[in-house]
Structure 1
């Protein structure tokens, strides 16, 4: 059995809106609904776990009624950090489960089906997989006496879903939290397991600003 944990804990501060960004509509439907629909389109059998702050759950349920949203999912409470939110989502996966579990940003509604499939299938053998895209702009590193250019071919931009063997991610998430846990790959890496990179898709943007909303409308 495979799972996807969709983490949606944003407050929308950079969006300049009182409504959290995951609930803002693109193409007439909230971002978060489009994200869940994309994973349901990938697989009717995939078990979807949605992690939301408790304070946002009542509003989410209202939206589901308003938009007649009927994608099945299991709800988990958000935590103090993303790490703790993922822990709460993982608690909904049986401790003896065998398969692959993905973790995805709720405000990334455009992962391609091909990328999702590649992440899951590669994780069956490699155990820890993340989608990445090349850096296309020049990158400079800030140093004490100024800055200097670094070779962009040595860097990649990281996306989600990040996919893992279920038992590996559960074991890695039993580690004590530290500030170096910027994503789930960093948690698994700290546990001692290497990360495999696969090609992502450039449309798989993370919606965090009003500009991103405009881009999302065009992508739709």
Structure 2
């Protein structure tokens, strides 16, 4: 197995949640969302792998206290993020050891990270340089056209993108150093912009939701409660 670095990006402020705290610190089933994510990520790694957590520069004391209380014994590298997600990811990438061959980039507010999906991603990286977990939409889809009308999309041709997204270290670092911040909303988008190639799509996990709204938080609580039963 090639050594892997898993970068958790948790440097945002989560304004869409409408909460007094950045959403990564909100409580979920007895511990902060970010603690769930760190614990889940650390459980997937093997000796020789690297866990990197990118946080807001002003939150160093808060995060260290969180890790000490909820994630004792987890070994990771803390990195301060930048003004944008792209800058934050690049800061994390620059902390990856040169001996590491694979890099996974994961949202700090996706706390339900299961081994089954992780193993699928790692297996797919054999012979690939970029792998992305996706799910199939269940709703019908329409796309708004420039004139304000809309047109039907064939949902069999559309996928919903998740994280963690896996890359070879060289490929993703080159993409970020060359392109920097763009309109791309995820790491695979930046990779495709830089290389002109598509990532390999792998079956994701419908429960691997990104917590963005209060409804997402309630749903994550239900999923985690069911997992305990």
Is 1:201 the counterpart of 2:205? The answer is yes
Task: Tell me if structure 2 keeps the 8 A contact 1:83–1:181.
Answer: no
Q: 1:215 aligns with which of 219, 225, 229?
A: 219
The CA deviation string for residues 114-165 of structure 1, in whole angstroms up to 9 with x for no partner, is 1112112212321100000001101111111411211111100000000001
State the match for 1:50 in structure 2: 53
Greater Cα offset, 133-142 or 43-52: 43-52
**Structure 1 position 40, deviation (Å):** 1.7
Task: Tell me if structure 1 keeps the 8 A contact 2:7–2:51.
Answer: yes
* Secondary structure of the structure 2 residue equivalent to 1:117: helix
The CA deviation string for residues 158-211 of structure 1, in whole angstroms up to 9 with x for no partner, is 000000011111111111324332111011111213310000010000001111
Q: Could you tell me the TM-score, scaled by structure 2's length? A: 0.90
State the match for 2:164 in structure 1: 161
Q: What is the 5 A alignment of 1:5-24?
A: 5-24=7-26
Task: Tell me if structure 1 keeps the 8 A contact 2:6–2:50.
Answer: yes
* Secondary structure of the structure 2 residue equivalent to 1:132: strand
Task: Tell me if structure 1 keeps the 8 A contact 2:179–2:190.
Answer: no
What is the aligned-residue RMSD (CA, Å)? 1.5
**Gaps (5+ residues) in structure 1?**
none
User: CA 1:75–1:31 in 2, change beyond 3 Å: closer, same or farther?
Assistant: same
Q: How many residues align?
A: 219
State the match for 1:182 in structure 2: 185
Greater Cα offset, 59-68 or 32-41: 59-68
State the match for 2:38 in structure 1: 36
**Structure 1 position 68, deviation (Å):** 5.7
Task: Tell me if structure 1 keeps the 8 A contact 2:9–2:105.
Answer: yes
Q: Could you tell me the TM-score, scaled by structure 1's length? A: 0.94
